Amino acid sequence: MTDIRIRPAVAGDDDALLALDTISWDSSSGFPSFREKHRETFFDERTTPETIVVAELDGVVTGYSRLVPKTPIPENSHVLGIFGLAVHPDARGKGVGEALVRGTIERAREKGAHKLALHVFSVNDGARRLYERCGFRVEAVLRDELLVDGEYVDDVLMAVFL
């Protein structure tokens, strides 16, 4: 049996998270421009250990989510967002993603959020199904919102009330 542990990130996770980000990234789930900025270190001024929820499978970092305020506006402070989520390809289908999303929902509750939102590419069917299993619902579809690898992609806004 596999042991999945969800925990806050620590500064010492930088190398493992950078390696995970590199191996798990593809253009159907992430922005190429963002990927280009994160080649040498995972943590930076916006992505700090305090913003990252880590998933470990049998003691190895195999997933993460980035949990941050959706906007800097005080009137919107009750809404947190998942801006980045990755699971190692070898850990997919083993419950890591679902445990990570549920752990991130719990962390958002602990922070006092009323709502947790995220954006997902319309072509990322696996992620959309995962979020739906965890209670997220589609709130909006922004048609042709993104241009990725020369193709227009819809941006799907999903949220769950906590």
**Count of residues for the chain?**
162
Q: Name 103's Cβ contacts closer than 8 Å, sequence gap at least 6.
A: 6, 53, 55, 65
Q: Is pTM, for the whole model, over 0.75?
A: yes
What residue has token string 């969800």? 6
Segment holding 110, helix H or strand E: helix 96-110
Specify the pLDDT at position 25.
75
Domain boundaries, given as residue ranges, for the chain: 4-161
Specify the pLDDT at position 30.
57
What residue has token string 């250990």? 49
Specify the pLDDT at position 42.
87
Instruction: Write out residues in the chain with pLDDT < 70, as ranges.
Output: 1, 26-39
Packing angle of the helix pair 96-110, 125-133 (nearest 10 deg): 50
Specify the pLDDT at position 80.
98
Instruction: Please state, in angstroms and as integers, the Cα–Cα distance from residue 144 to each residue in 1, 60, 121, 138, 156, following that order.
Output: 43, 37, 10, 16, 10
Segment holding 36, helix H or strand E: helix 32-37
Q: Any idea which fold 4-161 has?
A: Aminopeptidase (3.40.630)
